[in-house]
Amino acid sequence: MAFNLEMYPIIYMAQYNPETKNWDEKWIEKDRVSLKELQAMSEEERANVLANRNNLNLPGVSYTSQYGYGCFEGMKAFPTKDGGVSIFRPDRNAARFANSMKGLYCPAFPEEMYIKASAEFIRRNAELGYIPEYEKSWEEDNYATAKAVYMRPFMNTEGAIGVGCSQAPYVIICATTVSSYFKGGNTKAITTKRIRATPNGTGCIKCASNYVISALAKKEAENAGYMEVVYLDADDHKYLQEGSSCNIFFVLKDNTLVTPELGDTILPGITRASVLELAKQQGIKTEERKISIEEVMENVKECFVTGTAAGITPIESITHNGVEAVFNNREPGEVGTKLQYLLKGGQYGSVKDVNNWNYKVL
């Protein structure tokens, strides 16, 4: 399934008022069509409803549309085994979103308002049946194909032209249902000569324009027969940075779990932070540091990427300069599988949430 444009009918929107210095909130109800009613419609009727939901009446000419000036978050709400619904660590998304907006020199959206709006968004759409029901069969593959609500909070600017910074930004929350992010087939990755982020740039904030390079590099990798692309650093073109839209982890031959250290070229992923914490709790030695492509090619036995959409996805191999390093005989590794069980099990409620990461909504 991955991403689709079957957006939910109720949308949250707020805009900053420079005069009052307040955020003016409103709920946009595009329709009252329930999920069951939507599924029963003809293809034409369904297409019309979904097209209307995707029309947000935002300014056509803006800093966002003209210059890619904007930021966003990716977060998930999970149907849990006890029949409830929880959002995973929305406080971390709220803090990162505020930091991204500060990084863009525009008014930051208040963190408490972010969490409150996110929870209310799920409640309102749940009334129309848009939250997936928990299925026990998901447990069989460690929730690799389980459904969840993918929430997309994002910032868009007021109408504007000419390079500048927003003074009256909009914040919108919309959502769709997702399952597995990556397509089926191989899980091979390849390094790219493209640079995702440079020092003193916007790599450490979730800036919309960062993803243009990601889209190009990912497309080139897919055209060459790979699932994923891996970036090296801008200065030495030697040290691992990230995947196309996810953080990356390596298990060394001595069982140490290594991920590139944070800096102004690496996004502080919330799944990344969660995986590190879970690994430490399991007694796994972890390191956040520079790791070179040479070390990866010679001393790594397992590799996986992490992200809100990706979850924990194993990487079977990395190809660099025509040479392929294969990990764990192309099978998911022990460490990644264990961490996937703990992470997803905690999110879906089959494993005790010992860290209190789930924000219960329903």
Q: What is the DSSP secondary-structure string of 199-236? A: TTSSTTTTBTTHHHHHHHHHHHHHHTT-SEEEEE-TTT
Write the DSSP symbol of residue 110: P
pLDDT for 183 equals 66
Q: How many beta carbons lie within 10 A of that of residue 163, not counting itself?
A: 9
Among 243, 202, 240, residue whose Cα is nearest residue 71: 202
Asked whether the beta carbons of 350 and 358 are under 8 A apart, the reply is no
pLDDT for 4 equals 80
Strands 317-320 and 188-191: parallel
pLDDT for 179 equals 77
Burial (0-12, 13-18, 19+ Cβ within 10 Å), 2: exposed
Largest CA distance in the chain: 61
CA distance 272 to 206: 14
Among 283, 261, 264, 265, residue whose Cα is nearest residue 339: 283
Spell out, as residue ranges, where the chain has pLDDT lower than 70. Answer: 1-2, 181-184
pLDDT for 1 equals 47
Among 259, 228, 266, residue whose Cα is nearest residue 335: 259
Q: Which residues pair with 116 in a beta bridge?
A: none
Among 181, 164, 168, residue whose Cα is nearest residue 13: 168
Residue 81 Ramachandran class (φ > 0 left, ψ -120 to 50 alpha, else beta) = alpha
Entry pTM: 0.96
Burial (0-12, 13-18, 19+ Cβ within 10 Å), 267: buried
pLDDT for 182 equals 66
Give me 58's structure tokens. 């935002």
Helix (H) or strand (E) holding 347: helix 334-348
Q: How many beta carbons lie within 10 A of that of residue 292, not counting itself?
A: 15
What the chain holds in terms of domains, given with CATH numbers, is: 10-178 (3.30.470.10), 188-348 (3.20.10.10)
CA 15 to centroid of chain Cα atoms? 24
pLDDT for 309 equals 85
Among 60, 82, 6, residue whose Cα is nearest residue 346: 82
